[in-house]
Structure 1
């Protein structure tokens, strides 16, 4: 396949997955509910935490930065943190315990009842993300999972699952960031108006 054809194919593929999301009322309803929970969390002085590995870590950090910095307009910052950004903590816990526990230890340290955890895993089977979700749930936090494929184990233990209807990691991640941007826009609008 020549590059021009490949580019056009990937754009069509991405657009098709997004249209599949739009036509799935569960995704739209679950995102609306997740946004309502996030706004309630912030109004009650709670925190929103994010975790993911690899590209999902980058997406988690991206969404957290939009909330703690700004998204569409200037406003007060909101507490949002991607749990992997403290490299000393990540490497110490990975070395002293195991990588599977790296996010659950941080959830245990930072999370409080009423806080939210957004757990990102394209397969839904990342052990470190599953452990973080379990720890959050046991600490009376709500957990919102961003998954793909069949949702994996994560899909069965979260309070809300935003499952992208795709088997392809790149397409799933593209849709996760789209949902993250929509979430940030709703939160800003509800919290601060514009």
Structure 2
């Protein structure tokens, strides 16, 4: 056995590389990503907003994506509306205390979401109860529902208008893949909306 095959860092990088390569060659996955970029750009162009939710590392990813939309990705341009539902500790703890952890995102979607907004829900397993509850409320309120998940989360499709399934069942790799897609989506959204504002 080679030294590199025993090294966890090298092994992880190879696992990540192989999964990213599979993703980059998957025409259906790429088409889904483009559709997600289009629906987000369309919502923001219409003065709607992007809501994002996730647990743990996916909570951090939700915040990261929101920051790219509100701040900037690569271009100086007007700010666009994105809210990570993972950041308001008073709301999260009050809702968790009064209604249960399963409702921490659904209750915020109910209060903040409007028809035409987009909910981007991140769950590597596709089975997080609070994510599925948020998607249900979003559907009821006329939001466009988008999911990012891993290979074992395809059941999330029943709750999503658009579902991006990373070709891996390793949590860390799934998150890396959907953040790579998220950055590509942010690029498309930013270019589309910047062209609109400059026209």
Q: TM-score with structure 2 length normalisation?
A: 0.93
Structure 2 unpaired stretches of 5+ = none
State the match for 1:112 in structure 2: 114
Equivalent residue runs for 1:89-168 within 5 Å: 89-168=91-170
- The alpha-carbon deviation at position 44 of structure 1 amounts to 0.9
C-alpha contact (below 8 Å) 1:147/1:155 kept by paired residues: no
Count of equivalent residues = 194
CA distance in 2, matches of 1:70, 1:102: 28
1:43 is the counterpart of 2:45: yes
- DSSP 3-state at the match of 2:14: helix
CA distance in 2, matches of 1:114, 1:75: 23
CA deviations on 1:129-161 (whole Å, 9 max, x unpaired) are 000001001111111100002225423210111
- DSSP 3-state at the match of 1:74: coil
Distance 1:34 1:173, change over 3 A: same
CA distance in 2, matches of 1:159, 1:112: 16
- DSSP 3-state at the match of 2:47: coil
Aligned-residue CA RMSD (Å): 1.6
Structure 1 unpaired stretches of 5+ = none
Equivalent residue runs for 1:34-73 within 5 Å: 34-73=36-75
CA distance in 2, matches of 1:73, 1:2: 43
C-alpha contact (below 8 Å) 1:116/1:142 kept by paired residues: yes
